[in-house]
């Protein structure tokens, strides 16, 4: 039986792709995904034999239902990215994306904390590489900002694992206690990766400055691996319900107001990721199954949306609401796919997110979790307003002049269609997904109550939104260029304070340096004078007396030492 971690296949392919000719690269990505799939599905559940490295047990492969469902989602998404990548020539970015997917997949399947930190950090660094490889303006500073976030995250993980090793002498990748110092460090690191409030800014930043392909890869292979790690190490952690709820609110608030649609999609994904985090916090078997299924559906649906918006960026230069205006005129297929993708991310009945959201609502269906139930229920209506109605109204706005066809390349549309195909087929036949979940679910998402609730939510929400939008459109305020978020604090006031502190520190350093230099010079001069003084023994009375005295002292010491 082959005991290779499926992620290693992608990591090896990331090196090979650097030497591959352009036409072979998409095929190599697809082939790597298929080989990794074969490795994943060809193995029974359980851990491979541990090997010892520097006295620590290292388990390169440990397969169970929890990591299998995430692994399948990663590989399906990678397969949809393969044809999409054929639209441009960028071998370095292809390698970065394969390394990101490989690191993420390896992190899913390793069975010990040290290997997990290594693979998780590799994926984090590769995500920064993806942004740095982007040809878009401003990608280098964005990549540097992401590297700082990943550095902080890696440091927290390392410190947490070190404390854990000292206190437990056990490195198994299993449930941890957030109340211990090691657990707190590891939880903080995972929350950064998941995009918890205040740390959520790295995600929208990375997505906005990555290339079209890079944004889709970042959407799929970064935050949701954090969700897996939380489900593995911190199930039933009460703090996660609050953090998840805050992520839903924060994501929804920014998603509706953000004029840049790639950023808005990242915020909407943060909100849907918040649902997963809150479910992990609830921790019941159905909630954990719901979290895993929801992460699966979110990964593919938002990758598809980012791919579509990437097509708009490629053809129109940007993905702000202004670029969507009249989109159906020159990019009719993209406009249709955008609406379908909008339905997929807003959990319309018949899509995979609807199938998993019904499980999530069932898990929250208790008086104690009423706020989370209400937030999870209302979130699709907010996303529907932004990504279906607002986009459809703008895209199908009549234009006076007929525009020439400017559709995205066929291979891009192929990748997008493939991703949407998975969203819809899993949505129409969700039993396949439910069978992958760790808990035994006999769940019918198409029960009349579920479909009726979602239909009225989106229907009534849509009617109200359209009425308000049409009446409010008469006096539409100009949309802002950007929205202030937590990063405005660390790049604004905090940066100023840090700059002042730095300047003050440099001044103090200079002053201390000058004082030390003066002191050293003074001491040197004194030393020279002292040497010169002793160099002329007969010129001074004291010198004449001191020499026999020193000689006598030396003789006394020698005598005492020999006695």
Partner 1 sequence: MSKRRAKPGGAVGPLMVVCGAGALAGLALDFMQPAQPAFWIGAAPGGAAALGAAAAVFAVIGARLVAMVLGRGKDGSDADA
| Minimum separation from the CB atom of position 393 to partner 1 (A) | 4
> Is residue 485 near partner 1 by the rule CB under 8 A?
yes
> Is residue 435 near partner 1 by the rule CB under 8 A?
no
| Minimum separation from the CB atom of position 342 to partner 1 (A) | 12
- Between CA 395 and CA 390 the distance in angstroms is 8
> Is residue 112 near partner 1 by the rule CB under 8 A?
no
| Minimum separation from the CB atom of position 400 to partner 1 (A) | 11
Residue (108 or 457) nearer to partner 1, CB? 457
| Minimum separation from the CB atom of position 382 to partner 1 (A) | 5
- Between CA 100 and CA 285 the distance in angstroms is 30
> Is residue 460 near partner 1 by the rule CB under 8 A?
yes
DSSP code per residue over 265-304: HHHHHHHHHHHHHHHHHH--HHHHHHHHHHHHHHHHHHHH
- Between CA 231 and CA 276 the distance in angstroms is 9
- Between CA 300 and CA 173 the distance in angstroms is 26
Q: Which of 128, 299, 105, 316 is nearest to 216 (CA)?
A: 299
Task: From 16-24, 59-67, 87-95, 253-261, give the range in contact with partner 1 by CB under 8 A.
Answer: 253-261
> Is residue 54 near partner 1 by the rule CB under 8 A?
no
Q: Are 285 and 337 in contact (CB under 8 A)?
A: no
- Between CA 254 and CA 265 the distance in angstroms is 10
> Is residue 64 near partner 1 by the rule CB under 8 A?
no
> Is residue 456 near partner 1 by the rule CB under 8 A?
yes
Q: Are 193 and 150 in contact (CB under 8 A)?
A: no
Among 186, 286, 385, 433, indicate the residue that binds partner 1 (CB under 8 A).
385
> Is residue 398 near partner 1 by the rule CB under 8 A?
yes
Among 1, 21, 449, 561, indicate the residue that binds partner 1 (CB under 8 A).
449
- Between CA 23 and CA 326 the distance in angstroms is 34
Q: Which of 395, 380, 513 is nearest to 457 (CA)?
A: 380
Among 492, 502, 505, 527, indicate the residue that binds partner 1 (CB under 8 A).
492
> Is residue 338 near partner 1 by the rule CB under 8 A?
no
Residue (34 or 486) nearer to partner 1, CB? 486
> Is residue 448 near partner 1 by the rule CB under 8 A?
yes
Looking at residues 256 to 275 of the shown chain, list those that interact with partner 1 (rule: CB under 8 A): 256-257, 259-260
Which residue's structure tokens are 């019941």? 284
> Is residue 393 near partner 1 by the rule CB under 8 A?
yes
Q: Are 197 and 136 in contact (CB under 8 A)?
A: no
| Minimum separation from the CB atom of position 302 to partner 1 (A) | 19
What is the Cα 271 distance to its own chain's centre? 14
> Is residue 333 near partner 1 by the rule CB under 8 A?
no
Among 2, 463, 497, 520, indicate the residue that binds partner 1 (CB under 8 A).
463
- Between CA 305 and CA 272 the distance in angstroms is 14
> Is residue 238 near partner 1 by the rule CB under 8 A?
no
| Minimum separation from the CB atom of position 217 to partner 1 (A) | 20
């Amino acid at each position: 039986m082959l005991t290779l971690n499926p992620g290693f296949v992608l990591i090896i392919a990331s090196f090979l792709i650097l030497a591959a000719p352009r036409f072979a690269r998409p095929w190599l990505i697809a082939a790597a995904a298929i080989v990794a799939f074969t490795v994943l599905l060809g193995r029974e559940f359980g851990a491979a034999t541990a090997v010892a490295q520097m006295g620590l047990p290292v388990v390169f492969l440990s397969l169970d239902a929890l990591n299998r469902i995430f692994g399948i989602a990663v590989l399906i998404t990678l397969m949809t990215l393969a044809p999409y990548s054929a639209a441009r020539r960028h071998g370095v970015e292809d390698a970065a994306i394969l390394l990101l997917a490989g690191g993420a997949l390896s992190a899913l399947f390793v069975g010990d904390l040290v290997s997990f930190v290594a693979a998780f950090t590799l994926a984090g660094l590769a995500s920064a590489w993806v942004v740095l490889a982007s040809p878009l303006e401003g990608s280098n500073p964005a990549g540097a900002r992401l590297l700082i976030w990943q550095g902080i995250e890696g440091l927290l993980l390392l410190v947490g694992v070190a404390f854990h090793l000292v206190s437990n002498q056990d490195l198994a990748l299993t449930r941890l206690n957030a109340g211990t110092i090691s657990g707190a460090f590891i939880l903080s690191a995972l929350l950064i990766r998941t995009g918890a409030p205040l740390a959520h800014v790295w995600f929208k930043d990375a997505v906005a400055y990555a290339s079209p392909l890079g944004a889709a890869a970042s959407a799929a292979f970064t935050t949701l691996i954090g969700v897996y790690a939380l489900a593995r190490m911190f199930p039933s952690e009460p703090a996660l319900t609050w953090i998840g709820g805050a992520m839903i609110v924060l994501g929804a608030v920014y998603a509706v107001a953000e004029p840049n649609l790639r950023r808005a999609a990242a915020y909407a994904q943060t909100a849907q990721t918040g649902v997963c985090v809150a479910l992990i916090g609830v921790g019941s078997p159905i909630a954990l199954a719901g979290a895993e299924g929801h992460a699966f559906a979110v990964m593919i649906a938002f990758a598809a949306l980012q791919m579509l918006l990437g097509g708009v960026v490629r053809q129109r230069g940007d993905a702000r609401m202004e670029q969507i205006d009249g989109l159906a005129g020159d990019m009719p297929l993209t406009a249709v796919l955008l609406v379908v993708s909008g339905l997929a991310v807003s959990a319309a009945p018949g899509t995979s997110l609807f199938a998993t959201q019904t499980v999530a609502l069932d898990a929250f269906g208790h008086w104690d979790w009423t706020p989370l139930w209400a937030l999870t229920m209302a979130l699709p209506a907010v996303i529907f307003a932004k990504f279906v109605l607002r986009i459809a109204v703008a895209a199908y706005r009549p234009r006076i002049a007929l525009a020439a066809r400017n559709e995205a390349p066929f291979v891009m549309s192929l990748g997008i269609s493939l991703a949407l195909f998975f969203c819809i087929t899993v949505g129409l036949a969700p039993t396949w997904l439910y069978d992958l979940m760790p808990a035994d679910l006999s769940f019918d998402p198409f029960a009349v109550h579920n479909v009726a609730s979602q239909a009225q939510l989106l229907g009534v929400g849509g009617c109200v939104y359209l009425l308000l939008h049409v009446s409010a459109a008469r006096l539409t305020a100009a949309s802002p260029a950007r929205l202030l978020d937590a990063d405005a604090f660390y790049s604004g006031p905090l940066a100023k304070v840090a700059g002042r502190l730095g300047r003050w520190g440099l001044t103090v350093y200079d002053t201390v340096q000058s004082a030390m230099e003066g002191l050293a010079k003074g001491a040197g001069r004194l030393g020279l004078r002292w040497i010169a003084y002793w160099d002329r023994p007969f010129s001074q009375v004291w010198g004449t007396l001191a020499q026999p005295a020193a000689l006598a002292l030396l003789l006394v010491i020698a005598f005492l030492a020999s006695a």
